[in-house]
Amino acid sequence: MNESDSTPRIGQIVLINKGRDAGQFAVIIRHIDERFVLIADGDKRKFDSPKKKNIQHLTCYDYVSMEVRNSLIEAGRVTNGKLRWALGKFVEEELDVLEKGDSLDGERRCN
């Protein structure tokens, strides 16, 4: 799960920094090129209509949902329910750290 470079990974959780959805979390579901990825959250942004985002407008967390990643690799798609579940699990497990006053170690700019 730890890759040495900071290339965004399929199934990785990101925080949107720019645009209408700023402040919301999403999951990377596909790479378009070195600058752009497709993201979805399974709620407002469904798998079938993902948002194209510049990776410079995202904060990547060092957290990859293996369930989402494996589903995308094996079947080429993922259910919206699984996307929502992965984001809920991330918020529950990882963001509790922030509430305790600690910083989140795996937070960094995508690039």
Domain borders along the chain are 12-99
Q: How confident is the model at residue 2 (pLDDT cuts 50, 70, 90)?
A: very low
pLDDT per residue over 63-111, tens digit each? Answer: 999 999 999 999 999 999 999 999 999 998 876 666 555 555 556 667 6
For domain 12-99, give the CATH number: 2.30.30.140
Whether residue 1 is predicted with pLDDT greater than 60 in this model: the reply is no
Give the tens place of pLDDT for each residue, 23-48: 999 999 999 999 999 999 999 999 99
Residue type, position 57, single letter? H
Beta pairing partners, 12: 64
Sheet (strand 51-54) strand order: 51-54, 36-40, 25-31, 12-16, 58-64, 107-109
pLDDT for the residue numbered 22: 95
User: What pLDDT, in 10s, does the model give residues 47-56?
Assistant: 999 999 999 9
Q: Where are the alpha helices (DSSP H) in the chain?
A: 66-75, 80-94, 96-99
Q: Are 91 and 83 in contact (CB under 8 A)?
A: no
